[in-house]
Structure 1
Amino acid sequence: MHHRINLILFVTFITVIFASCFRSGTSSDVLTNNKNLNLQTVEELYQFLTYDENRYPLISLHRGGPTTGYPENAIETFAFNASYRPVIVECDVQLTKDSALILMHDKNLDRTSNGSGPLDNKTLHELKNLRLKDPNGKLTPYRIPTLEEALSWGKGKVIFTLDVKQGVPYDLVISAIRKQKAEGYAVIITYSADQATVVHNLAPDLMLSAPIKNTADLTRLNERDIPDNRIIAFIGTREADRTLIEHIHGHGIMCILGTLGNLDRQAKQKGDQLYARFIENGADILSTDRPLEAGRILDFYIKKRNITSKFIQ
C-alpha cells in the first residue's frame, strides 16, 4: 500500500512538472543529457545488462526511431536519437540478392524507399542508389545502410538489438558482428527457445533477446544451458504480471516491455507520465515508437532518482 501511494505521488508530481515544461517550451532543453553508452567489451555488456535495483532504465528505438525527416533503419536516425540520450537501437537485418546484409524492415522496397519490388531481387550496388522515406512518405537524402556500416558507427555510442529477418542466416550476422568487433554492443533478437539455442550454439559469448512471458519460457532457456547473463527478456506488448517480472529479475535478467502499439497509444491519450509507471512496475527497457516523449520521462525519472552508470558518459 505504501509503495502504491508513493507511485501515485511520483506520477502526479512528474505530470505537473512536465505540464510546466511543455508550457514554457523548454522540456527538451532541460532533460536532454547528450550522453552515450560506452561499452568496449562483451564482459561490460553483460555487466551493464544484468539486473540490479540500481539499473539504468533505457529507451529502445523500434526500427531505429523514425520521425519527421528521419527514416526507419537509417544511421542518421540512430544518431539523431542518440544525440538526446543513451539508447538501444532496434533495427532489422535483411539479405540482398548478392548476399549483403542491409538494414530494412520490409521485404519490399516501396514503403520506405523510392525503389520498388522485392529487395532480395536487388544487389547492394542497386540498393545504394536508392533514398529512404520518412514515416510521412517524404523522400530524404539518406541511403540504405549495411549492417557493418551501422555497427561501425555505433561503437562507443549505442547498443544494437538486431532483428534478423526470416531467411537471413544467423552465421552471416554473427560474422558481421565479429568483423566489426561489436560483441560488446550487439544483441541478437530471437523469437523462441529454439532460435535462442541456435544463436547460442553458434556464438556462446553473444547476448540475445528472447521472449519470456511466463516462468516456463525461462525454464526452457535454462534447460538449453543458456546462461542468464546472456539473456534479455522480452516480456511482451502489455504490462506483465509483477510476480513474473520479479522472477525474471531474480535471475539477474533485465526486461524489455514493448510499449509500441497499444501502450504508446495509452501514453499519448492519458499522458506520457505512464512511461514512468511502466518503469516503476518493473520494466527496464521500453521498446517504443515514441522515443522522444518516452525518453523525456525517463530522463526526469533518472535525474530525480540520481541513477548513474559508469558505462554512460
Structure 2
Amino acid sequence: MKLCFGKYGLIVSLVITGFIGCTSRNYLLINNLSDYLRYSPDKTPLISAHRGGGSYAGYPENCLESFGHLARQMPLIIECDISTTKDSVLIMMHDDTFERTTNGTGKVTDQPWIYAQNLRLEDHRGTLTNYKIPTLDEVLKWGNGKVIYTLDVKRNVPYQWVVEAVQKAGAQNYAAIITYSVTQAELVHRLDRSLMISVTIRNQEEYERLQKAGIPDNRMIAFVGTREPSAELYEFLHQKKIRTILGTLGNLDKMAEARGEDTYRKFVDNGADILSTDRPLEAGRALGLIR
C-alpha cells in the first residue's frame, strides 16, 4: 500500500488491482495497465499531456525533458507523436516537416536519422533550446516506471513498427496505442492482444462496431471527442468498465482559461476520467493532482 493523491487532492490509501503506487516524485508504477485503466468510480482522474506537454516556455513538445518536467509534478499520461525518418528510424515528431518545432527544414521522411539527431528543438514560442529529438526507443526506455504513454502513430508509420518497438521495450504495461478507425484498432489488437488501445467512441454505434471487430472492453480506452458528450454515453461506457478520455485541447481548454480552472473539475464531475489537454499543469492543479 502506498499513499498517493486521491480525487481532487485528498490523500488516500490505494489498494487497486494493477496499481503499485506513486513514488515521491509522483511517477506512476503500473503492474497491469489493463486493470489500472479499467473504470471504477473511486479511481483518481488523470491528466494526459497533449503532444507531451509542449505548451510551456523552455519545454518543447514531444521531448523527454518536457515529459520529465510534468511527470515529476503529478501522475501523468503522456500523449506523444511518432514519425519516421527516411532510413526508418521512429522519432517523436508531430508535423510532416521540421520547421515549426526545430531548427531544421524539409520533410521528416526525406531526411535520415543522422540529420534529425543533430537538430535542436524549439518551444511553442519558437525559442531554440538545447534539447534534441528523441527516438521512440529512447522514449519507451525513459517512461518505464514513470508515466503511461498513449502513442499517436502518424500516417507515414506502419502500426506494426510501433507495436514491435513496444514489444521490444517490454512496454505493454505502460504504453497504449492510439487508433482512429475500427480497422486500425482491429490491426493493433491482432498484432498484440495484450495492448491497450485508445479508440474513438462518440456514440454507442461506434462502440458496437468496435465490439463486432473483436476489440474487448478491457482493451479499450474511449476517446469521446473534443466536446463534452451526453451523460448517457459516459454512463454507457462506465457500465462497460471503460475509462473515458475527453479532449479538452482547443475549445474546452480555452473555456477553462476564460471561466476559471474549476471548469476542469466540472468535466470530471460530468463523467470524464482522463483529460487530454494542452494545459496539463493548470488542469492538474484544478483536480488536486499537484500540491
Superposition TM-score, scaled by structure 1 size:
0.84
Which residue number in structure 2 is paired with residue 267 of structure 1?
A: 256
Matches within 5 A, 1:204-223: 204-223=193-212
Matches within 5 A, 1:250-265: 250-265=239-254
Q: Relative contact order, CA 8 A, sep 6+: which one is greater?
A: 1
**Unmatched 5+ stretches in structure 1:** 1-13, 15-32, 304-313
2:229 equivalent to 1:236: no
| Amino acid corresponding to residue 99 of structure 1 in structure 2 | S
CA distance in 1, matches of 2:180, 2:108: 23
Matches within 5 A, 1:49-198: 49-66=37-54, 67-198=56-187
Q: Which moved more, 1:192-201 or 1:145-154?
A: 192-201
**Aligned-pair CA distance for 1:126:** 1.1
**Aligned-pair CA distance for 1:119:** 1.0
CA distance in 2, matches of 1:34, 1:242: 35
| Amino acid corresponding to residue 49 of structure 1 in structure 2 | L
Match of 1:283 among 268, 272, 279: 272
CA distance in 2, matches of 1:175, 1:195: 15
Match of 2:33 among 40, 45, 56: 45
Q: Deviation digits for residues 102-141 of structure 1, max 9, x if unmatched?
A: 0000010000000001011111111110000000000000
2:254 equivalent to 1:246: no
CA distance in 2, matches of 1:272, 1:56: 18
**Aligned-pair CA distance for 1:205:** 1.1
Say which one has the larger Rg: 1
CA distance in 2, matches of 1:123, 1:232: 34
Aligned pairs, number = 268
Q: Deviation digits for residues 52-108 of structure 1, max 9, x if unmatched?
A: 111220000000001100000000000000011010000000011000000000010
Q: Deviation digits for residues 221-277 of structure 1, max 9, x if unmatched?
A: 111111101000000001110001100111110000000000000000000100000
CA distance in 2, matches of 1:109, 1:58: 31
CA distance in 2, matches of 1:128, 1:205: 32
Alignment RMSD (CA, Å): 1.3
CA distance in 1, matches of 2:164, 2:208: 29
Q: Which moved more, 1:120-129 or 1:103-112?
A: 120-129
| Amino acid corresponding to residue 222 of structure 1 in structure 2 | Q
**Unmatched 5+ stretches in structure 2:** 1-7, 9-23
CA distance in 2, matches of 1:270, 1:123: 46
- 3-state secondary structure, aligned to 1:144: coil
2:225 equivalent to 1:203: no
Percent identity for Structure 1 against Structure 2: 51
2:25 equivalent to 1:34: yes
CA distance in 2, matches of 1:291, 1:34: 16
Superposition TM-score, scaled by structure 2 size:
0.90
**Aligned-pair CA distance for 1:34:** 3.2
CA distance in 2, matches of 1:103, 1:39: 23
- 3-state secondary structure, aligned to 1:299: coil
Q: Higher strand proportion, which one?
A: 2
Q: Higher helix proportion, which one?
A: 1
CA distance in 1, matches of 2:79, 2:115: 25
